[in-house]
Chains A and B, each alone.
Chain A
């Protein structure tokens, strides 16, 4: 299938952008100087230059002050995985509140929370749902019989029954990408840099710094699932209020 080709080729917008900025720098200053600068240039996503591919605890922080609700993440996810119509691995919830002229509009990008204690894994009768050491909760499509219990067990509605494959499906943090040190597709596509992805075990990673320094929220923390998608500046109506 064409999909695998895309994976191998890695047409990564972030890397292209980096390339562009390097070219600009080359024009401005001499080749030798620029070469030295480019070598030490802090890359836009530190994840691509992450020191380790092992011993990681992958996590995402989403800065809702930056999110403009453009749905680029939803679209890039759709194309990354050929997600059929009507179902989403990644989507954006929108909430409006107040009455004119005092109104507000908020966005909540959603995806699998990659819980430390995933309720979906607990109920799976075949062991198809597993949690990798780096925290990615994944579905083994070979083992999945399509009983749909994980879909109802997920408190975040992150799962769905794949309309054609007839197995449980959901966000897997783009494990085919992150295993090669490249950020997930939605992070790559986000024009506002609202999504920050990386390794929580690496104290120098952007996501570690954000999660340590900022006031963060996770969805439905009272359930004890320990989600690893962290929201900065979350509006309470988005996650509470009308539950879904």
Chain B
């Protein structure tokens, strides 16, 4: 059987998964900033860097998203309408509001207006949740793409965004020298991160198993990851470098105590989740 089809294009390039990565990272950082300020106050020293980074990362992501448009200068067209059936339209408004809340929260935290910051921070939590999940829903909305069209997609993206945020916070606190002061409590962060990575890998495994039990499209979608064009990225970067190696560091009592190894693990996890986003977006288009 030979097939000649002259037309098939890959419309979305690396900019979209990078935006997904940055958008998720920003939502995760916001969540962590609120959690460390009000619930896990042991880590309060880490809250401020997270809160400051969050809007900056989001701004970079939104900038990338705008640049990816065929007509970046026509982006205002998105802001003069609301299309209730379009996840991207919801996302436009959601991100705009979240960005303002997010930046305001960081500002209040820096100024030390705690009472006001708490109100704004709590108000931002549902926005951060929606910001982290909507990108997954955006893909899940497309019923013609078996790899994307699954209810797991928003949750996969949500867990991914918390993972990247936590990994970045760990990395930053090591770089800024805040890790030593926290002593044992700091390694608890690494342990939490490790369990989140386990959850993420489990979700990916479930996703692939369900796809392999699906129709022709679903099986084809799973095989693109397992042995197709993106199998190297999937097995080597996402699974081995992004999960197996960091987990072997973070779950080992001795290795996880070394800050150098801990930072390597965090950096690898960041790369692994970026690979996950990239693979999902690119492989889904095949």
Contacts and interface: CB of A to CB of B under 8 A. Distances in A.
Interface stretch (A3-11, A30-38, A92-100, A187-195): A92-100
A91 interface: yes
B72 to A, nearest CB: 8
B71 A145 contact: yes
Interface in B69-84: 69-71, 74-75, 77-78, 81, 83
Interface residues of B, number: 39
A176 interface: no
Contacts of B75: 145
A234 B86 CA distance: 33
Contacts of A121: 85
B141 A122 contact: yes
A96 B2 contact: yes
A28 B264 CA distance: 91
Contact of A93 (B3, B9, B91, B138): B3
Contact of B1 (A96, A126, A145, A161): A96
B145 interface: yes
Nearest to A124: B86
A166 B88 CA distance: 19
B78 A125 contact: yes
A152 B75 CA distance: 19
A222 to B, nearest CB: 8
Contacts of A153: 141-142, 144
Contact of B88 (A146, A147, A220): A147
A54 B12 CA distance: 38
Contacts of B284: 152
9 contacts: A91-B5, A92-B6, A93-B4, A119-B142, A123-B85, A125-B83, A144-B70, A149-B86, A224-B143
Given A125-B86, A126-B83, 4 more contacts: A96-B1, A127-B81, A147-B70, A223-B143
- Kindly list the 8 A-B residue pairs having the minimum CB-CB distance in the complex, ordered from nearest: A146-B70, A155-B144, A166-B70, A125-B88, A151-B11, A125-B89, A94-B4, A148-B11
Interface of B: 1-9, 11-12, 68-71, 74-75, 77-78, 81, 83, 85-89, 91-92, 138, 141-145, 216-217, 220, 284-285
Interface of A: 87-88, 91-97, 110, 119, 121-128, 143-149, 151-157, 160-161, 165-167, 220, 223-224, 237, 240-244
